[in-house]
Amino acid sequence: MSDDLAPHEKLLPYTRSIRGPDFLDVGCGFGGLTIALAEAFPTKVALGLEIREQVTEYVGRKIVYLRHAHANGSEVSAEAERAALGEKPQEEEEAGEAKECQEEYNDGNGKGPEEKTMAEREQDVAQRKENEGSPLEKDEETELSSEQKTQQHHFHNAGVFRTNVMKTLNNYISDHSLEKMFFCFPDPNFKKKTWKRRIINDEYLKMYARALKIGGRLYTVTDVLDLHNWMYGFLSKSAQFKEVAGTREEIEKNDKCVRLIKTTTEEGSKVTRLGRFGHAMHWAVFERVDREGEAAAAATE
């Protein structure tokens, strides 16, 4: 990699943005949400973090491909897209928790996550905007400069990085810099002896709280009810987080990310199509609260 690149660019080889990420897709898998976030929030930088090397490389190629395809205005077939991306990593790849994820969570049909063509993606975005444009979405659209529109179409606001989030997050994400963190369909680690590997617990929440801005949001979604209860339990007890107020319907209506975590993640698609644990997706949205909030929460304990 060139020495002319800023340290940030060396660290995030698929991100040409000169600033750090606003959104983190933790355990991004094949990157569906990371890419959807970049499309839906053209002025923000979305970064996917993934532990599996080949999967990370694949998502990187996909982002680079999307940039080129958008820059050239090319309409491509699913076949052409597959050819451009190369072989998709197999689900059975070995990598610690990821291997366990495959063993315990694999649907076993050998079929990869749904791939969409450029035309289908653009259609999805147009449809989403038509159906459910929130006030935020409309504001962002009208406020876009031509430079930002170019960025939107070139996917320069999407990136991916290989890491073990649980070990290294605070090494490269500045304190209180993130607006949103996503934990979508994390590895369930069903067996009791592996619960310590679950991606949310008291210790890890402190790390995530440090990375999030005050008022930033943390999203979880899973089809495993036990895992949802586990994550919800730690989050609702944490002095650094509070659940976003409102009914489920209100939260979903006011925050388009709730729809995105269910509809654009590869695992969410599988739940819709296959429903191994039923078709329900259990989700939660928590907000990072400030110091006074922490003190007040602590005082009521």
Ligand X SMILES: C[S@@+](CC[C@H](N)C(=O)[O-])C[C@H]1O[C@@H](n2cnc3c(N)ncnc32)[C@H](O)[C@@H]1O
State the Cα torsion 190-193-194-197 to the nearest 10°. 130
Selecting among 22, 187, 223, 255, the annotated active-site residue is 187
Q: Of 127, 108, 110, 100, which Cα lies nearest the Cα of 36?
A: 127
Active site (annotated) includes residue 187? yes
Residue 98 found at the interface with ligand X (CB under 6 A): yes
Q: Are 300 and 133 in contact (CB under 8 A)?
A: no
Binding segment for ligand X among 72-80, 127-135, 153-161, 185-193 (CB under 6 A)?
185-193
Residue 212 found at the interface with ligand X (CB under 6 A): no
Residue 29 found at the interface with ligand X (CB under 6 A): yes
Identify which of residues 144 and 207 has a Cβ nearer to ligand X in the complex.
Answer: 207
Question: Residue 2 contacts by C-beta under 8 Å, 6 or more apart in sequence?
Answer: none
Residue 24 found at the interface with ligand X (CB under 6 A): no
Residue 219 found at the interface with ligand X (CB under 6 A): no
User: What's the closest the beta carbon of residue 263 comes to ligand X, in angstroms?
Assistant: 11
Structure token pair of residue 242: 């509070």
Distances in Å between the Cα of 106 and the Cα atoms of 102, 184, 189 are 5, 16, 13
Helix (H) or strand (E) holding 119: helix 118-132
Identify which of residues 104 and 252 has a Cβ nearer to ligand X in the complex.
Answer: 104
Among residues 21, 27, 42, 60, the one that binds ligand X under rule CB under 6 A: 27
Structure token pair of residue 188: 């369930």
User: What's the closest the beta carbon of residue 65 comes to ligand X, in angstroms?
Assistant: 19
Helix, strand and coil in the chain, % to nearest 5: 50, 15, 35
- The arrangement of strands across the sheet holding 23-26 comes to 158-162, 46-50, 23-26, 178-184, 212-222, 282-288, 241-243
User: What's the closest the beta carbon of residue 288 comes to ligand X, in angstroms?
Assistant: 20
Q: What is the DSSP string of 58-110?
A: HHHHHHHHHHHHHHHT----HHHHHHHH-SPPPTT---THHHHHHHHH--SS-
Among residues 40, 45, 69, 166, the one that binds ligand X under rule CB under 6 A: 166
Residues 139-158 that bind ligand X (CB under 6 A): none
Site mask, ligand X, residues 34-63, x = CB under 6 A?
A: ---------------xxxx--x--------
Residue 224 has φ and ψ, to the nearest 5°, of -100, 105
Among residues 97, 140, 223, 255, the one that binds ligand X under rule CB under 6 A: 97
Among residues 158, 165, 212, 239, the one that binds ligand X under rule CB under 6 A: 165
Residue 223 found at the interface with ligand X (CB under 6 A): no
Provide the CA 216 distance to its chain's centre, in angstroms: 14
Identify which of residues 69 and 166 has a Cβ nearer to ligand X in the complex.
Answer: 166
Residue 266 found at the interface with ligand X (CB under 6 A): yes
Binding site for ligand X (CB under 6 A): 27-29, 32, 49-52, 55, 97-98, 101, 105, 164-166, 184-187, 265-267
User: Hey, which residues are catalytic here?
Assistant: 187
